[in-house]
Structure 1
């Protein structure tokens, strides 16, 4: 699999923000200079180097360009160039984690080369983790940028032992990129000081002097982590032409020319939405009764609580078990009469709205809370369980769309995952994971819907031991995993091999063919992990202050990709698919409030007050060109906000403004401002308020799709009474007749493709290069013959009767009667290709059986009817990435649709004046047939006059061609015709019609015929 990249407008804007700061700089390709050959080197062909041309613009010209860039984004206007690290040009580019910061500065290098000819770039990073990630990004984007710019960049990681690469960096005229981590030049070790030393193996030159001669453009990735004294002292020695600083959280301000902060990224749907499953512990006074409320399910009757309690087994052993308990259930009885549950632990209330359970003794438990005798080990087990559940929930939703789900555990020591003192080498977390995974896997397999067969097969085929893996450093002496070497002042590992493993497996991990779905990694390695398909993150580590919540979730914010490498970024469904679930070891409220505070603290460049002064001078784009907001216009905006209570006495934007904007009910702007409404609202939105912070969902509560008032409409209830009758089917046919028909069909239709094999001959060419041999280009084809291979499988034994009987659901005797009746010449094809013979014979026999079934089929009503509860029974775990827009005539607010045909059909149903009410029939509404249960698509009530109604059950198919409908589908459809035809015979008026339609127009043709 190969990740795909496409041009994104927001990324192009980030590139233009940098490049436009130098408008007017002439294009100069490759300023040549004499490379210092060194005292011990002879003059050679490598004397000539190519450096970046000096900046031809004056400081005032550059500042004017910067101001233009800032105005068009309504950023604070700089009054001077801010020098730093011995460089007069320092530009700040703010980009939220997960929005493609690395991609943007790589593209910026290509664009600067294209417009101005600059070609020497150094990417400087604070850690080996980021260095390896940047290098990987340069590799995987190389072809993409070659297609866009017609050239490739040469890139390498600086290594003081490979200085020939530095020589090439200077002498090559193309785009050259050096990636270097600050430890390579600001640490005290001998290897790190080599950059400043005259080296015998470098012709007695100093590497830093050779670097500086190129006048490189420095790109600092995460500059806030590189502000130590040693780094700031070293930067001027590189003699940079300019310094570009890319980060989501700038600590020191320079000239800020671009902002894409956390609010922008979330509101523009450029990163994943966040959900949190909080886990909190609290003590119960006077008792050590263990309780954990996993969550609450909505059932057909009443809410059910998923509670983990201690239970006494028949053997006398006490074990913790997860139970589904209802109102008035007594934990004393449920536990096998354990004393800790004796006093008042009877369920008094289950509140699904607030996710709480209350007991008769007054104890109230919230979802995600554990109480009583709870150890750290218990919490970690709960976290692992919740992570697996969140993973399987997401996987069940996304599997059919070709999106692989990955989950990531961060742990604080390797022994928790891989314990070499144990015979099986499994650490505590690996053991707990496999135990919990096996239990949950069986539970999910038993509850999968009937249409989830592909996912069922995928899930059942993956073993617990094969689906988790550890990515840690490796001790090269023992070949065992080890904890990373982390510096005393740093939180980042210096072990290259750990990052190499993670990054090397990046694309492979995205494939369904790779069974690894759960990844354990060391918390110190967090910056090496940026796989886009991480959907669940769990912190199995002791809390500390070195890693913020925002840093933690940053590893999983990138938008996911499917099996083709395409990014899932369509605005309509981006936040239905891309949701990152964080399993936290603190309460939901604590985690969310902490996360939002951290986000708010980073929004330093955003104004907090909507004043006249702030609006004055802001830029609006018109057909005639950009104009500035005048003081008079600013006063109108200010009064508009105050008049509608969209700002308060402190001039802060209120939640009323954001609520009205989301609902589309904002008050109209004054007439003079109306032509510029969109841009004015964008400027208002740039003023920070708490109401703008990303909404963090509770990961335990699925998005709901409630039944609405349409469900209670008389027309729907009458339709429902006409179709909710349950029935059983009868099929009476003569086996001899079936045998005769099958024999006749096989004799005329059965044709088997003989097994063949092809023999090709070729000859090796002469004078081949190593590259040709490695590429397989050393041979040319000289001949090819095809032979029939009937004897290829002669040693394989086939249970012909058994396989055909299994495929057709007939007895072995009936199958034997059929096969012995066919012509000898037809049967002889079995030897030619046994597998194809079995498949084709099974298909033809099944078709004949289906035709006879339909002819002889009859339905008998039973006393039971479908209850309306089936409309609410499957409301959890729905795939809202396939949901329609909100509907007005449907019995639910949304319809979960299965194809583009259904999507178009829903749009027409919902806008039709003839349709009174309709429903996508729930999965639980099934018609029994001899070839499996059948679930029709739609129930529709049409208005055909003041009194009369037409009731219709419709199946939507993209084609009516019998060649494209599978035989089993055709059989089920014909059985449904029988079913609805027979139950409608007992209705005196307004009978139910059933048919298959390709679109709404076809449906209306049938309905019109019924009216006539």
Structure 2
């Protein structure tokens, strides 16, 4: 198959942006020569003054709505930003021929940071040669890769009279001891033969070549000027064209993305330990491990720091699964291992989650099913469908590894055909054996060569190969327009960046004639990741922000610019109105509760009987379309989901002991509750979820009975130390204020004739979180009976059996007499009559309000009310 190429409008703009920089430069038809071993050196030259180039630069930047820069800032270094998959290599190769046609320049050096990118450039030149010769009247050009074994090629580069393109890996010439930089017998370094030509230097993926050594190496080529092409510029030197990923996506210049994550739900059983990484401290080495953490309410996965001697039982919040044998005996950062006291060795990146294999098998099934569905639809259109699997261990595929076994099993079940020949792996070799590599070793070179040479072959129906397995090190430098599924199969969560992951399949598809297919129904890339679509979208957005400098709209996130200092009215702590109400509120309280044990058992049993069935851990498959917007960011819109149960036999912990720890009831009471509940048979479905849910229902019953029988008491007033201490906190706020984030509900204190009323303790703003609170503050300001009001600070708390409670407002009202109120503002919507419908509040809110009513009964002359509006007081 021969790929067909066309120049699109946006590619023409990118090429033209460079050509216009040198408007006014005469065409250098005549060569100029320098003597070098009696052979003339044919090079580029420029006569256009720097200030004229600067004017051209600003005109180009203005036309493309880019920030203007002064030519002296970065010299003759220019940046073109193009998203992966939009034809960046095509654009800079075409730019070479346009520069030659317009200005006669002939010598070009393409600098690349790695083997795969170099191989990608070579493959592109091979594929595009016929296209460029047709577009540029049969132009003759030469191209080659620099090699220290073929230094004589530099001579022909320096003396040739046609377009010559030299491709160089930065590592081949950035050090003094590189062959090209060493003086030869004539006393000259070979690099001089390049630098004498004043080549136009094109830097591919320049963000990987920003070290001082790399910059010096590029300067040593003595470039006429430098063009930098990337989707992720670290330093945008004179940006002259920009097509960022969001623009490319929304203009449908790349495939649209849908995400089909496969996730586990309720998988919190057992002693799960994953080593995430090491942290080297000044005194000792620590490691970050993910474990099952025993939270107050339920067991969750949590990453904690550990050092030698730490006990994971303690780090897990007392999770019984780690009771014996989980002391960290040693950490070894070099080998990437930690050793536990039970003899278990945990290796970096390995995941002992019992459900992990089930998830990866389901991911593979989803990828194969999606592939086969697309084949039915696209094969008749002459489009071959490819799928790419990223794996992190070659051994899991080669030599009948589990991935190869699973693939054969699923493929043959879905198609009724043999899987032989339809899948293969591209892995680096070491002494004839496949090996895991990081993508930058010498061993990767053969792998990339093989992939690049097979690019057109893979697109043809003549090849049976449709499913490609690659080590996760495969990143820039290889992609294929007909990759429609990308599946990440990792023992642990994928370390691959989202942009790197999707970049292998973003290009628009081609048919058997090698023609690009521009059909929205065709160009959909399905990613099957090991994370939720919400997480996928959030990570992709963060990468766009960090790597591309894209600034999305606020989208509800707090911004540093919204951070504001709230100031307090000077002298408010001496205001008689404030002192009067604060002297009433500053008293400390305690509570006591009474309830009957039999009533607790009965109530708890009723709640446990009403629980939904305890589900086994499930594998959930979702499907979501990814949307991208510069105003709203990146998000997923779920289209469908399905779930299936797993069949894993879990070890059963001491259920009574675990529930007893969470509820603080006696073992006998817990036993009686479980015995009478009739739900013991569900323990085996999901032991940890059973413990968490039953404990929650018992605590709900317990809290309800405690609150029914709660009684508050004022603490004895030994002296006025407590009052002085609380007043001191107010005085600190009066002096220093407090920082907060402004939002749409923040209330700004009213002013009359430029003078602020002194009805509150605040000087400027009151931080609020709802429209109801904002209206309440407005009404306090305008209501003639409200003499004084303020929002109670977060540290003013009422103790309750279900946690501390912070009421909203303190008010002093006066009509014929003064009344002191504590008000809780709630809005339960329009009802039959005005006011708050308590039954519409969450049970925990109702319970805290019930406690507050009892508590404020022991305060002298203070009324507690739950209201929506000031007029209800």
Deviations 1:171-199 (A, max 9, x none): 111111011111112358x6xx1011123
Q: Quick check: 1:128–1:494 contact (8 Å CA) kept in 2?
A: no
Q: Pick from 491, 497, 502 the counterpart of residue 446 of structure 2.
A: 497
Deviation (angstroms), 1:525: 2.2
C-alpha separation in 2, matches of 1:113 and 1:62: 18
Kindly report which structure 2 residues correspond to 1:895-974, keeping only aligned pairs within 5 A, or say none.
Answer: none
Deviation (angstroms), 1:72: 1.2
Deviation (angstroms), 1:600: 3.8
> 1:436: which partner in 2?
410
Q: Quick check: 1:30–1:119 contact (8 Å CA) kept in 2?
A: no
Q: Pick from 165, 186, 205 the counterpart of residue 222 of structure 1.
A: 205
Deviations 1:552-578 (A, max 9, x none): 111110001001101012xxx33x111
SS at match of 2:197: coil
Kindly report which structure 2 residues correspond to 1:400-439, keeping only aligned pairs within 5 A, or say none.
Answer: 400-419=380-399, 426-439=400-413
Deviations 1:949-1005 (A, max 9, x none): xxxxxxxxxxxxxxxxxxxxxxxxxxxxxxxxxxxxxxxxxxxxxxxxxxxxxxxxx
Kindly report which structure 2 residues correspond to 1:85-484, keeping only aligned pairs within 5 A, or say none.
Answer: 88-150=75-137, 151-186=139-174, 193-200=178-185, 205-283=188-266, 374-419=354-399, 426-442=400-416, 463-475=418-430, 477-478=431-432, 480-484=433-437
C-alpha separation in 1, matches of 2:419 and 2:545: 41
> 1:556: which partner in 2?
505
SS at match of 1:82: helix
> Is it true that 1:4 corresponds to 2:4 in the alignment?
yes
Q: Quick check: 1:278–1:591 contact (8 Å CA) kept in 2?
A: no
Q: Which runs of 5+ in 1 are unaligned?
A: 38-42, 289-371, 420-425, 443-459, 610-647, 652-687, 703-1012
Deviations 1:58-103 (A, max 9, x none): 22211110111111111112234333xxxx2010100000000000
> 1:928: which partner in 2?
none
> Is it true that 1:51 corresponds to 2:39 in the alignment?
no
C-alpha separation in 2, matches of 1:23 and 1:515: 51
C-alpha separation in 2, matches of 1:699 and 1:218: 47
C-alpha separation in 2, matches of 1:492 and 1:588: 33
Deviations 1:107-146 (A, max 9, x none): 0000000000111111111111101101111111000000
Deviation (angstroms), 1:579: 0.7
Q: Quick check: 1:27–1:117 contact (8 Å CA) kept in 2?
A: yes
Kindly report which structure 2 residues correspond to 1:741-890, keeping only aligned pairs within 5 A, or say none.
Answer: none
Deviation (angstroms), 1:246: 0.5
Deviation (angstroms), 1:236: 1.6
TM-score (structure 1 length as normaliser): 0.46
Deviation (angstroms), 1:524: 1.3
Q: Quick check: 1:273–1:696 contact (8 Å CA) kept in 2?
A: no
Change in 2 beyond 3 A, CA 1:545/1:168: farther
Deviation (angstroms), 1:167: 1.1
Q: Which runs of 5+ in 2 are unaligned?
A: 272-351, 563-627, 643-873
Deviations 1:405-448 (A, max 9, x none): 000011223222213xxxxxx22211111111111224xxxxxx
Aligned length: 494
Q: Quick check: 2:538–2:634 contact (8 Å CA) kept in 1?
A: no
Q: Quick check: 1:50–1:214 contact (8 Å CA) kept in 2?
A: yes
SS at match of 2:32: strand
Kindly report which structure 2 residues correspond to 1:623-662, keeping only aligned pairs within 5 A, or say none.
Answer: none
Q: Pick from 451, 458, 464 the counterpart of residue 515 of structure 1.
A: 464
C-alpha RMSD of matched pairs (Å): 3.0
> 2:769: which partner in 1?
none
Deviation (angstroms), 1:523: 1.5
Which is further off, 95-104 or 143-152? 143-152
Deviation (angstroms), 1:392: 1.2
Change in 2 beyond 3 A, CA 1:231/1:545: farther
TM-score (structure 2 length as normaliser): 0.54
C-alpha separation in 2, matches of 1:276 and 1:539: 12
Deviations 1:694-732 (A, max 9, x none): 665658679xxxxxxxxxxxxxxxxxxxxxxxxxxxxxx
Q: Quick check: 1:266–1:694 contact (8 Å CA) kept in 2?
A: no
Q: Quick check: 1:471–1:498 contact (8 Å CA) kept in 2?
A: yes
Deviation (angstroms), 1:690: 4.7
Q: Pick from 18, 42, 62 the counterpart of residue 71 of structure 1.
A: 62
> 1:530: which partner in 2?
479
> Is it true that 1:540 corresponds to 2:489 in the alignment?
yes
Deviation (angstroms), 1:276: 0.7
C-alpha separation in 1, matches of 2:374 and 2:459: 15
Change in 2 beyond 3 A, CA 1:284/1:226: closer
SS at match of 1:33: coil
SS at match of 1:434: helix
> 1:604: which partner in 2?
549
C-alpha separation in 2, matches of 1:541 and 1:286: 21
Deviation (angstroms), 1:377: 2.1
Q: Quick check: 1:277–1:700 contact (8 Å CA) kept in 2?
A: no
Change in 2 beyond 3 A, CA 1:268/1:132: same
SS at match of 2:173: helix
C-alpha separation in 2, matches of 1:699 and 1:377: 26
Deviation (angstroms), 1:544: 7.3
C-alpha separation in 2, matches of 1:257 and 1:153: 27
C-alpha separation in 1, matches of 2:552 and 2:355: 46
C-alpha separation in 2, matches of 1:127 and 1:196: 20
C-alpha separation in 2, matches of 1:81 and 1:606: 27
Kindly report which structure 2 residues correspond to 1:569-608, keeping only aligned pairs within 5 A, or say none.
Answer: 569=518, 573-574=519-520, 576-604=521-549
Deviation (angstroms), 1:531: 0.9
SS at match of 1:403: coil
C-alpha separation in 2, matches of 1:544 and 1:27: 56
Q: Quick check: 2:231–2:548 contact (8 Å CA) kept in 1?
A: no
Q: Quick check: 2:553–2:632 contact (8 Å CA) kept in 1?
A: no
> 1:506: which partner in 2?
455
Q: Pick from 46, 50, 61 the counterpart of residue 52 of structure 2.
A: 61
C-alpha separation in 1, matches of 2:200 and 2:630: 38
Which is further off, 389-398 or 256-265? 389-398
C-alpha separation in 2, matches of 1:264 and 1:143: 30
C-alpha separation in 2, matches of 1:179 and 1:699: 46
Deviation (angstroms), 1:527: 2.1
Change in 2 beyond 3 A, CA 1:555/1:112: same
Change in 2 beyond 3 A, CA 1:508/1:689: closer
Change in 2 beyond 3 A, CA 1:550/1:94: same
